[in-house]
């Protein structure tokens, strides 16, 4: 069976967790292929809200195996916190049973967090992600497979500690890395996770050969890709489709579907240009922030909000080749008198239909808008009832208010990508699927 990829189509925080959770019900493997605990995926199951940072969102499906892939940088302490919360909720210990860590993945150490804390420009999460990836590129980082060999090499330990402390000095961080602490941390990692560390690429390859369904789960979003995003205000990994199979340890020929997740508006966390940004304090920008609860899952920082940007979505599609779009948070726009769609930019007096590569130029871009009528605000219960009516009677999107349906169809027309699912609330039941599409299934009933 082919693999499916789920990616953020904007600047991250698009609601990937819910889409992955839905697809995982029919998947035997869910694989995170890049990033670390700078990701935040939220899943709402009735009264239970799960906030995941490293564990794949497929964890809620008991028959779905979970992999932290080759392309990840993993914080073992944060992972333990997540696993402990999962155990408190379900009494399951999945590590080594259905959750496996790639031996090729890099270890995030306290040093990386200390170094990252000095950032004052990009607006990172401070979780040590960038410094861990930098060590990988410089070929001085420690992968999970390297830990026992590293501990046996006294010279290597001393050399690493010296390098780390010099780097901390260079960014004005006074804390020191001590030999006893580093050795103790690495030994603990081996003891805690030794039973889960595997050649995960071979496991995924074998599963695909045996006809199993594999879900490749991305973190962050297309506009935060280190190569294709709004550099330098990006993350430290390749977030795009091209890295989905590479970061999982399999070849790209396995992928058949690539689903891009996009809000019905746009948000961004951290610094960097954002052409459709609206004032946070008032008006539609404040409405989106408050009604959409736009605060980062990982950092708690308020997200910047703005109108739907079809120019950035077009660039995102060019890089990733989406076979379908999952449009999330349509319900949040309910109650606004007028909706805007950005169809182009004005740059230095000229209209352009692409994102400039230079952030300096992108910061000068002014959005060119198309105006659409708004639709009424509905309660969470009303949206869920609408979604359940769509499923029970096979109506697809026809259950939507007329103005909302027109807005959705225009996004589909401008992007050239079929919209396969529409999120109308955080609950697993609050999704309306296209008739006969990949999301046109009954939601799983999960109780804890």
Q: pLDDT of 96-133, one tens digit each?
A: 999 999 999 999 999 999 999 887 666 667 889 999 99
Report the alpha-carbon distance of residue 275 to residue 72 in Å, rounded. 30
Q: What angle do CA 47, 66, 203 make, to 5 degrees?
A: 165
DSSP codes, 216-255: EE--S-GGG-TTTSSTTSS-SS--SHHHHHHHHTS-GGGE
Q: What is the pLDDT, as a whole number, of residue 297?
A: 63
Residue 42 and residue 169: Cα distance in Å, rounded? 37
Per-residue burial over 179-192, b = 16 or more CB atoms within 10 Å of its CB, e = otherwise: eeebeebbeebeee
How high is the pLDDT of residue 123?
A: 65
CA distance 57 to 241: 18
Please name every residue paired with 258 in a beta bridge, in sequence order, or none if there are none: 5
Clarify whether 26 is annotated catalytic: no
| pLDDT score at 448 | 61
Amino acid 347: pLDDT: 97
In the chain the domains, ranked by start, together with CATH numbers, are 3-75+200-433 (3.90.170.10), 106-193 (1.10.300.10)
Q: Which helix (H) or strand (E) holds 209?
A: helix 200-209
Are 262 and 10 in contact by the 8 Å Cβ rule? The answer is yes
Which of the following is catalytic: 13, 75, 331, 427? 13
Question: What per-residue confidence (pLDDT) applies to 126?
Answer: 81
Report the pLDDT value the prediction gives residue 447, as an integer from 0 to 100.
61
Q: Which residue has the tokens 């939601």?
A: 443
Write down the pLDDT at residue 323: 97
Residue-level pLDDT at 117 = 86
| Region for 19 from its dihedrals, namely left if φ exceeds 0, alpha if ψ lies in -120 to 50, beta otherwise | alpha
| pLDDT number for residue 20 | 87
Interhelix angle 402-415/310-320, rounded to 10 degrees, is 50
| Close Cβ partners of 231 (under 8 Å, ≥ 6 residues apart) | 359
Consecutive H or E run containing 371: strand 366-373
| Residue 393: count of CB within 10 angstroms of its CB | 10
> Contact 41/52 with Cβ under 8 angstroms?
yes
Report the first-to-last Cα separation within the chain, whole angstroms: 31
Pairing of strands 338-347, 350-352: antiparallel
User: Residue 133 forms beta bridges with which residues?
Assistant: none
Q: How many CA within 13 A on the CB side of residue 282?
A: 0
Q: Are 324 and 262 in contact (CB under 8 A)?
A: no
185 is catalytic: no
From 21, 26, 41, 146, the catalytic residue: 41
Of the candidates 150, 156, 158, 152, the one whose C-alpha atom is nearest the C-alpha of residue 179 is 158
CA distance 269 to 301: 7
Please give the structure tokens belonging to residue 227: 């190569």
Segments of the chain scoring below 70 in pLDDT: 1, 45-46, 120-124, 297-299, 445-448
Residue with tokens 């580093």: 182
Q: What is the pLDDT of residue 371?
A: 98
Query: Angle formed by the axes of helices 179-193 and 154-170, to 10°?
Result: 110
- Contact partners, residue 187, CB within 8 Å, separation at least 6: 151
């Amino acid at each position: 069976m082919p693999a499916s990829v789920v990616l953020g189509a904007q600047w991250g925080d698009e609601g990937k967790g819910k889409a992955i959770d839905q697809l995982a019900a029919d998947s035997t493997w869910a694989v995170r292929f890049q990033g670390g605990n700078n990701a935040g995926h939220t899943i709402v199951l009735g009264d239970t809200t799960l906030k995941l940072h490293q564990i794949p969102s497929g964890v809620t499906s008991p028959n779905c195996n979970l992999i932290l892939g080759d392309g990840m940088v993993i914080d073992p302490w944060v992972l333990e916190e997540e696993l402990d919360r999962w155990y408190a909720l379900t009494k399951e210990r999945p590590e080594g049973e259905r959750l496996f860590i790639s031996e090729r993945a890099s270890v995030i150490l306290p040093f990386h967090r200390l170094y990252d804390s000095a950032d004052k420009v990009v607006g990172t999460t401070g979780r040590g992600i960038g410094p861990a990836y930098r060590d990988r590129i410089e070929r001085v980082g420690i992968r999970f497979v390297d830990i026992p060999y590293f501990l046996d090499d006294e010279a290597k330990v001393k050399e690493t500690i010296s390098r780390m402390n010099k780097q901390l000095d260079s960014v004005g961080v006074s804390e020191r890395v001590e030999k006893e602490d580093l050795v103790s941390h690495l030994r603990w990692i081996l003891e805690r996770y030794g039973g889960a560390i595997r050649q995960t690429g071979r496991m995924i390859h074998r599963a695909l050969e045996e006809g199993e369904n594999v879900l490749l789960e991305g973190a962050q979003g297309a506009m935060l890709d280190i190569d294709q995003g709004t550099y330098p205000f990006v993350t430290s990994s390749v977030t795009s489709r091209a890295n989905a199979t590479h970061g999982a340890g399999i070849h790209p020929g396995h992928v058949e579907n690539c689903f891009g997740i996009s809000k019905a508006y746009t948000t961004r966390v951290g610094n960097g240009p954002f052409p459709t940004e609206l004032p946070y304090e008032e008006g539609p920008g404040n409405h989106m922030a408050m009604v959409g609860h736009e605060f980062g899952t990982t950092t708690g920082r308020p997200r910047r909000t703005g109108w739907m940007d079809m120019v950035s979505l077009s660039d995102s599609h060019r890089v990733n080749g989406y076979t379908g779009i999952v449009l999330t948070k349509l319900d949040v726009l309910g109650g606004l008198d007028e909706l805007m769609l950005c169809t182009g930019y004005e740059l230095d007096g000229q209209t352009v239909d692409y994102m400039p590569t230079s952030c300096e130029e992108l910061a000068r871009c002014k959005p060119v808008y198309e105006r659409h009528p708004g639709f009424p605000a509905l309660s969470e219960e009303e949206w869920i009832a609408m979604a359940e009516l769509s499923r029970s009677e096979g109506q697809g999107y026809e259950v939507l208010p007329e103005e909302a349906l027109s807005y959705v169809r225009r996004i589909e027309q401008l992007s050239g990508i079929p919209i396969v699912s529409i999120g109308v609330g955080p609950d697993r039941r609050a999704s309306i699927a296209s008739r006969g599409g990949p999301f046109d299934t009954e939601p799983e009933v999960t109780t804890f």
